[in-house]
Structure 1
Amino acid sequence: MALSHKEAIRTKVWQELRQVAYPDLRFHYDFSSFIADFTGSEAAAGRLLAMPSYCRCATVFITPDNCLEYLREQTLQAGIRVLITTYGIRRGFWLLDPAIIRPELYRYAATLDGLEKVGRPVSLADIASLDLQIGFMVTGTGAINHMGIRFGKGHGFFDLEWGMLHTLKVVHQDTMTAAVVHDCQVLDEELQPEAYDTVCNLIVTPSRVLRADAAVQPTCGILWDRLEDGMLEDMPPLRELLAIEKSRNSSP
């Protein structure tokens, strides 16, 4: 069977990424199962941390991707709260608050093993009641083009996270979105985003920062009929959001 356009691009990028990526303890080099850390990820994170607009944020959302561990640690060092999901969103959202976490634990808190031991679990209702206005949303990705359109693992987690947070009104059309990637993951290929695709305004690599000024974020929320099989069952925040929307729709 012929590969789809996206699958062919992923295969091409993964061949190059294998030369600069670090294996994952669980998934080795299976890039379909995780977003890899790579040589130069700390330099890329440093470019984002140097931006005044990032440093002015009170709260940022950072995905649990391997390549963003250093960014999460340094964001806590800068006194900025980090909202994060567990792997696959299976245990929902967690809040890492540098005002509560001891500084010597920031590095541990930035890891997938540590965030659930050091951080605080937060429901969607918690996020709304705390009014966690998100200044930046940052993700890793399998590949991305110059227009900020991502070629991810195919599961759409970042799109779901944006959709949930947008429904809660803690991210908006002017919320900055950034992808931290290796230079080999930045492509020239054209791609039309789907209605639910969260496009990145910034593409940050070890060597440069690219701006996708034409990026427009989705306002559709979660498209329930487009979810993959099992997502609703596996992700508690989706079930919570569905209950919230049903409650809103049933109110007089």
Structure 2
Amino acid sequence: MDHKGSVRERVFQDLRQVAYPDSRFHFDFGEFIADFQGSEQATERLIQHPCYQNAKCLFITPDNCLELLRYRALQDGKHVLMTTYSIRRGFWLIDPATIPKDRWLYAVTLDGMERHAKPMTLADIKTQLPLLDCMITGTGAINEAGVRFGKGHGFFDAEWGMLYRIGKITTATPSAAVVHDCQVLTETLYPEVFDTVADVIFTPTRTIEVVNAHKPTCGIVWELLDAHMFETIPPLQELKAMEADLSL
């Protein structure tokens, strides 16, 4: 974890030169995943990729650099499942068929989502949604082998673990990351058992395909889960109850 911290610090220094500040957290990259100069080009690369072209229902994290992607997905008639900041208010489904077109751009923001999207429990997702076609995230840093370092909280890995546990994704579900070129590392990094390695990385200048990306099958490793995350994230509590009830 100390090594991850030093990597983040180094990357965040470079990112500060190209990132856009957040309205809540300014340049505190430990609290949010930033949008950056060239994210439009990275988004366009992703949109042209088969993992997007063939998708009907996408999971897209609430990261700032993915706001345009969420909007473009609605324009393309796709369903978007996303979470609130830090997952504390759960999962939400953004369905373009139920939202006026002139509200789409607002609906894909954290504030607009809760006004226009449909809240989804894990039980709702399990029974009402098809298999998700792709999992898309921003991140703090990533190497060319797809090993990610986020803000240090593990939210995307928790989201993967929950959705995998209820059967909405599999090890064949592609995972994509959208980052600035300065966030891509060449050094060797090693994933933890619960880390979701990206199958493909999109930057403003490159599309990096990863071969045999590691996909965790452990669900949530409860003994390793931070107690504060469990106490403040209702979907984790719901999953724990579902497992206790043997409904999974």
**Above 0.5 in TM-score?**
yes
Matches within 5 A, 1:151-190: 151-190=149-188
Rounded to whole Å, the distance in 2 between the matches of 1:52 and 1:137 is 13
Q: How does 1:1-252 map to 2 (within 5 A)?
A: 4-248=2-246
Q: Distance in 2 between matches of 1:190 and 1:158?
A: 21
Give how far 1:51 is off: 1.9
Structure 1 Cα separation of the partners of residues 61 and 137 of structure 2: 5
After TM superposition, the runs of 4+ consecutive aligned structure 1 residues lying more than 6 A away are none
Cα distance in structure 2, aligned partners of 1:123 and 1:108: 23
Following superposition, the deviation at residue 207 of structure 1 comes to 0.8
* 8 Å CA contact retained: 2:197, 2:214: yes
Contact 2:51/2:174 (CA < 8 Å) preserved in 1? no
Q: CA contact under 8 A between 2:165 and 2:219: conserved in structure 1?
A: yes
Decide whether the 8 Å contact of 1:55 with 1:78 is kept in 2.
no
Q: Which moved more, 1:80-89 or 1:104-113?
A: 104-113
Distance in 2, Cα, partners of 1:232 & 1:243? 12
Shift in Å at residue 192 of structure 1? 1.1
Calculate the aligned-residue CA RMSD, in Å: 1.3
Cα deviation code 1:31-80 (max 9, x no counterpart): 11110000011111111111233122110000000100000000110000
Could you tell me which runs of 5 or more consecutive residues in structure 1 were left unpaired when the two chains were aligned. Answer: none
TM-score normalised according to structure 2 size: 0.97
Contact between 2:61 and 2:83, CA under 8 Å: does it hold in 1?
Answer: yes
Once the 2 structures are TM-superposed, how far is the Cα of residue 237 of structure 1 from its aligned partner? 0.3
After superposing the two structures, state which structure 1 stretch, 63-72 or 222-231, moved more: 222-231
Aligned partners of 1:75 and 1:82 also within 8 Å: yes
**Quick check: 12-21 or 207-216, which moved more?**
207-216
Count residues with an aligned counterpart: 248
Shift of residue 216, structure 1, vs aligned partner: 1.8
Cα deviation, residue 117, structure 1: 0.4
C-alpha distance in 2 between matches for 1:52 and 1:213:
16
Q: Please, what TM-score do these two structures have when normalized by structure 1? A: 0.96
